Amino acid sequence: MNSPIVYEAELTFERRGAGARRVATGEKPDEDDLPVGRLMKVTKLMALAIRFEELIADGVVTDYAELARLSLVSRARVSQIMNLRLLAPDIQEAILFAPEIRKGRDPISVRDMQPIALTANWKHQRDMWRELSSRLGPNVSTDSQ
């Protein structure tokens, strides 16, 4: 008769995007080695807008339509992303250096930023930014002046 085979291994379960889990073999990593939080989507898109602007300035791409084709998004989406470059420099800096999100939803979205970006006067932008960031709690800096 066959005797049972016993296999012993250490397993850990890692969370992936959208709540999916993956089984990983080996020991659980140290808590110190794990990332503390994540960047807001608007932070990533702000950095992407800067990169897109560089690509256009360097002649790598000719226009927003080409960026849209290469990025597999609509021209309207590229315009939304590029509108972030219309923000006052200190607001752009606050977005780029915003603290990481530890849990929950992003406190600021691109949708929140569009009306601010489309305001031509930087003083008015700063007033709108202060109002927006004050509603969002301590996760977002309100030090832009």
- Which pLDDT tens digit goes with each residue over 17-32? 666 666 666 666 666 6
Phi-psi region of 29 (alpha: psi -120 to 50; beta: other; left: phi over 0): beta
- The dihedrals phi and psi of 22, each to the nearest 5 degrees, come to -135, 140
Q: Which of 86, 87, 77, 94 is nearest to 43 (CA)?
A: 94
pLDDT of residue 145: 44
Question: Residue 90: inside a domain, yes or no?
Answer: yes
Dist CA 52 CA 44 (whole Å): 12
Question: Residue 27: inside a domain, yes or no?
Answer: no
Residue 144 CB-half CA count within 13 A: 28
Q: Which residues of the chain have pLDDT under 70?
A: 1, 11-13, 15-35, 135-145
Number of folded domains in the chain? Answer: 1
- In the beta sheet, which residues pair with residue 12? 24
Q: Which residues contact 19 (CB under 8 A, 6 or more apart)?
A: none
pLDDT of residue 124: 98
Dist CA 63 CA 46 (whole Å): 18
Determine the structural domain holding residue 66 and report its residue range: 41-135
pLDDT of residue 24: 66
Helices marked H in the chain: 41-57, 64-71, 75-83, 89-96, 110-117, 122-135
Question: Residue 144: inside a domain, yes or no?
Answer: no
pLDDT of residue 36: 73
